[in-house]
Amino acid sequence: MEGAEKQALIAPNGKAVGGSSIEVRNPATGAYVASVACVDDAGLELLAQRGRAAQPAWSELGVGGRAVILGALRRWLSENSERVIETVISETGKPYEDAQLYDLGYGLAALSFWTRNAPRYLQEQRFFAHTPLLAGRRLVTRYVPRGLVGVIGPWNYPLVNSFGDCIPALMAGNSVILKPSELTPLTSLLMAEAGAECGIPDAVFQVAPGGGETGAALVDLVDFVMFTGSIATGRAVALRAAQTLTPVSLELGGKDALIVLDGADLERAANVAVFYAMMNSGAACVSLERVYAESTIYSEFTAKLAEKVAALRYGAPHGPGSVDVGAITDERQLDTIEAHVADALAKGARLLAGDRRGERSGRFFEPTLLVDTDHTMACMNEETFGPTLAVMRVADEDAAVALLNDSRYGLGAAVFARDAAEGERVARRLAVGAVCVNDAAINYFALEAPMGGVKQSGLGVRHGPDGIRKFASQQTILITPRWMPRREPQMYAYSAWMTKLIGRWLKLLYGRRASTTPEHPEPAAKRLLRAARRRASGD
C-alpha cells in the first residue's frame, strides 16, 4: 500500500483520519490506547482489487520464495517480541505470560512450521489411475491458490486466530485481507507493518479495520473465507457465502469438558483444570468450562480445585508475574459470565470460589468455581468464555461420556483416568474434534495435527495438511500419451458386440469375491455377507 493510502487506514499518532474510527482502550485500565480509521465499503473494494492484482506475482514466487519472506517475518517477530507483547496486552488486557506464550509463541511456532512444511503439504502428486479404463494415462494433481482469501478473526488471541490463519493462506500463494475484531485491531496492523518491512509485496497482506459490517462485506469480495468467532456469526458468514458459493472454513465456539475418573492423578488434574479454565481469562475457544468428576473422587477433587482457584491473583497486569488472570476484553462478555454464574446459583449450584465482577476501573471477573452443577444450567450448556469452571458429580464413566457428548458443541475435551490406555479408550468415545489425555487444550500447539470442531463448533480444520490445502483448490491434469489409438474401443459408434465385450470385461474385473480389510475383520464381515445373502434369497 502506498504511504498516503496507508495513512487513510492507520491513524497516525492515535488520531482518526476522517470517516468512522475505532477507539482502542485497554480493558484492564480503561486507558486510551489508539484510534484506528475504519475502512469503508469503497475502501474495502479497493483493497480487494489490489489484493487480486498482487496475487499472481506472489504465487509465482513459489512456495520456497514465500518461505524466505515469512521466515524473515519470524525473525522480525522474535527481535520485536516486546513490542508485539505490549501491543497484544494493550488491546486485550491479558497478563504478560498469556501474550508471551500463546500469542507471540504461537505466531513464532506457526511461522516456523508453515514455512518448513508448506512445500511438503502443497507438493503436487503424479500417479497412474486405478481403473483399467485409464490405462496408459498419467495423472497430476496440484494445489492452486484460491486467489484472495478473507480472514475474519475474534478478539481473544489477536495474533493466533487472526494473523495465525493468514500464515498458511499466504504460504499457499494467496493474497489476504484480514478483518480483525474491532476490539483488537492493533496487533493485526502491527503485523501488516512488519510484513511490509520483511518484504511481503504491497497489497499481498492487507488489514481492513472495521466492525461486523466490514466482515460481512468482505465475504462478498473474496474467494475463500477463514472465519473464527461465535456460532451465531459463523452461521451468518456461511449464509452470506452461500450466495456466491464461496467456500468457508469456520472455527467456532466450544464448551470443552474434562472427565476425571477414579484412579487419576488428582493433583495434576486439578492443576490442568484450573490453568486451562482460567488462562486468558477463560477466553479461549478450547478453555475448559465444565468438569464431570466421578463421585468416588468428587469431594477430594473439588477441594483441590477450590484451593487453587481461590489462590489466583486477578487484576490489571503490570509486567511479568504480576497477575494470573487479567481483564475481560469484551464488555458484553462480562454480562454473559455474570448471567451464567447467577443462573447456576439460582438452580442450586454451590460456589466454592469467586463470583464477583471486578470493582476497579478495568473489566474483570473473579476466577470462579461452581460445584454441584447439572445440565439444566447455562454454565454446562452454553459457552461462558470467562474465568469460570463448573463441576458436576457423575456416577461413572458412562454417565460422564453421555453428558459430555450431550452438547451442541464439539471442539475439544480432556480425560484424566487411571492410566494412558484407559484415557485413550475413553477419548475414543467422545464426539469432539480433539481430546487430550492427562492434559488439556495443548493440542492447539500440535501444528501437525488437524484442529477443528465437530457439530456446531465448526466446519473444516486449521493445522495439519488440510490446514493449508484448504487455502488452495485442487486441479487434476490427465495426460494421455501420443501413442494411444486414435479411436478407442469405448468410443462411437456403439456396437452390440463391443458392449457385450465390455460387459464381460467388467465382470472379470470386478465380479470376484470381495476381499476383507483390516477394518472389517473377516469373521464379522463374513457373517454380515451371509446374513445379507440369506435375506436376499428369502431364507
Sign of CA dihedral 450, 226, 178, 319: negative
Question: Facing residues of 63 across strands?
Answer: none
C-alpha closest to that of 215 among 254, 167, 177, 159? 177
Q: How many angstroms separate the CA atoms of 537 and 251, rounded? A: 49
Shortest Cβ distance from residue 58 to ligand NDP (Å)? 24
Nearer to ligand NDP among residue 186 and residue 353 (C-beta): 186
Asked if 55 and 201 count as a contact pair (C-beta separation under 8 A), the reply is no
Instruction: Kindly report the backbone phi and psi dihedral angles of residue 370, in degrees, each rounded to the nearest multiple of 5, phi listed first.
Output: -110, 135
Q: Read off the C-alpha cell for 533.
A: 445373502
DSSP per residue over 165-234, as a string?
HHHHHHHTT-EEEEE--TT--HHHHHHHHHHHHTTPPTTTEEE----HHHHHHHHHH-SEEEEES-HHHH
Residue facing ligand NDP at closest CB distance? 215
Measured CA distances, 13 to 37, 83, 193, 522 (Å): 12, 16, 15, 72
CB of 183 to ligand NDP, least distance (A): 6
CB of 62 to ligand NDP, least distance (A): 30
What is the rounded CA–CA span in Å between residue 85 and residue 102? 10
Residue 182 or 223: which CB sits closer to ligand NDP? 182
Considering the candidates 91, 251, 338, 382, report the single residue annotated as catalytic: 251
Taking the complex as a whole, the smallest distance from the CB of residue 314 to ligand NDP amounts, in Å, to 20
The grid coordinates listed for 453 are 470442531
Residues 401, 393: contact at Cβ < 8 Å? Answer: no
Of 186 and 411, which has the nearer Cβ to ligand NDP?
411
Q: Looking at residue 133, what DSSP letter applies?
A: G
Please say which residue, 58 or 113, places its beta carbon nearer to ligand NDP: 113
CB of 211 to ligand NDP, least distance (A): 4
| Residue 223 CB, nearest approach to ligand NDP (Å) | 16
- Asked if 38 is an active-site residue, the reply is no
Nearer to ligand NDP, 283 or 297 (CB): 283
H-helix segments, 15-104: 41-60, 62-79, 81-92, 96-97
251 is an active site residue: yes
- Measured from the CB atom, the residue of 91 and 330 that comes closer to ligand NDP is 330
Q: Which one of 38, 166, 285, 436 is the catalytic residue?
A: 285
| Shortest reach from residue 160's CB to ligand NDP, in Å | 8
CA dist., res. 196 & res. 452, Å (int)? 30
Burial profile 506-537: b = 16 or more Cβ within 10 angstroms, e = fewer: eeeeeeeeeeeeeeeeeeeeeeeeeeeeeeee
| Comparison of 253 and 467: residue with beta carbon closer to ligand NDP | 253
Identify any residues that bridge with 340 across adjacent strands, giving them in sequence order.
none
Amino acid making up residue 406 = D
* Residues near ligand NDP, by CB under 6 A: 152-156, 161, 179, 181-183, 211-212, 215-216, 219, 228-230, 233, 236-237, 251-254, 285, 330, 383, 385, 411, 453, 458
Instruction: Decide: 109 and 444 in contact? Cβ < 8 Å.
Output: no
Give the shortest CB-438-to-ligand NDP separation in angstroms.
23
Task: Report the residue number, 99 or 394, with the smaller CB distance to ligand NDP.
Answer: 99
- Kindly give the pairing relationship between strand 248-251 and strand 224-228: parallel
Give whichever of 19 and 199 is closer to ligand NDP, judged by the CB atom: 19
Helices 186-197 & 62-79, crossing angle to 10 degrees? 120
* Cβ-based nearer residue to ligand NDP, 331 or 424: 331
Q: For 395-465, list the strands marked E by DSSP.
A: 412-416, 434-437, 458-459
Q: How far is the CB of 463 from ligand NDP (least distance, A)?
A: 10
**What is the nearest approach in angstroms of ligand NDP to the Cβ of residue 217?**
8
How far is CA 263 from each of CA 142, 237, 384, rounded to the nearest angstrom? 50, 45, 29
Backbone angles phi, psi at 62, to 5 degrees: 85, 160
Nearest to 37 by CA among 164, 222, 214, 220: 214
Q: Hey, which residues are catalytic here?
A: 251, 285
